Chain A
Amino acid sequence: MTLYEWLLFLHVFTAFLLVAGLVAYGVVVLSAGGAGARRALGPPALALWNSGGMGVLVFGIWLALDVDGYELWDGWIIAAIVLWLIASAAGGRLARGVREGGAPGGADPARLLLAVMALATLALLFDMIFKPGA
């Protein structure tokens, strides 16, 4: 496998980890599983969201540097980094609330944070596939 193939595989694989973390947080916030679901899903959700988030950023930037024709200042790459920051900020707040044993500030703010994470991640996926301006 070439370096490009390794980087692409790791970038996509860590994106799957990120979405798995998002789905796990979704079940914690939206399901009626209560404390049991929070205890079972909180730690893996945090691990998947954090490792996936770091992975997509690191391998994504490495890919942009490796591939001729992509530059870090391309509009679609800057948009991806901004969306990553938005998702990470919301994810950090939600993770803190789940770790402390409840939804941060009650159920509605947790749902709002989850919605921000989900919309930013979906927008990231569209941005990565459609590459507007590339």
Chain B
Amino acid sequence: MLAAIRPDDWNLPLIVHVTGAMLLVGALVVAVAVMAGALRRGEDAAVLPGLAFRALLLGVLPAYVVMRAGAEWIASKEGLGDSDLGWIGIGYATADGGLLLAIIATVLAWRVARRSARGPGGAGRAVIVLCALLLIAYAIAIWAMTAKPD
């Protein structure tokens, strides 16, 4: 395999896109882990739903904006804005569909955090399921961005 060197002016938008995506995934992992900790209801677990909500609101959503802005920037640099390539389609589908799931998870986490004395309950489990679905979707997106299927 020969080394493929991209043009220098693609590097900055690419690093913005990748950094946003990495922080997005990291914040989702935090939200899942702390909400799971809240469901176990161990000692000091009362603070955890609030932490999951903050991870979604202050971590996932801002990182999404950085990732998505970086995606548009690099797509315009590469001239792929209107492309019908498979890997571009997977990227847009996971990003745009994922935003809806992230917003629903954030609202649910806010509701759980407001009534933390009663425990996370079904809404807490729903937050974990939504965030886990997002993580699976983003793993597929990482595969699409690296393997670049037609």
Does chain A bind chain B? yes
Residues of A within 8 A of B (CB): 1-5, 8-9, 12-13, 15-16, 19-24, 27, 31-37, 39-41, 44, 48, 66-70, 122, 125-126, 129-131, 134
Q: Are B2 and A41 in contact (CB under 8 A)?
A: no
How far apart are the CA atoms of A35 and B42 in the complex, in Å?
Answer: 10
Cβ of A129 and Cβ of B29 under 8 Å apart?
Answer: no
Question: Which residues of A sit under 8 angstroms from B2, Cβ to Cβ?
Answer: 67-69
Binding site for A on B (CB under 8 A): 1-3, 5, 11, 14-15, 18-19, 21-23, 25-27, 29-30, 33-34, 36-38, 42-48, 51, 54-55, 59, 138-139, 142-143, 145-148
> CA A12 – CA B147 in complex, angstroms?
11
What is the CA–CA distance of A9 and B29 in the complex, to the nearest angstrom?
20
Chain A interface helix/strand/loop/mixed = helix
User: When the two chains form their complex, are residues B139 and A13 in contact, meaning their CB atoms are under 8 A apart?
Assistant: yes
Q: Please state if B51 and A67 are interface contacts (CB–CB under 8 Å).
A: no
Which residue in B42, B45, B54, B147 is a CB contact (below 8 Å) of A5? B147
Q: Are A33 and B146 in contact (CB under 8 A)?
A: no
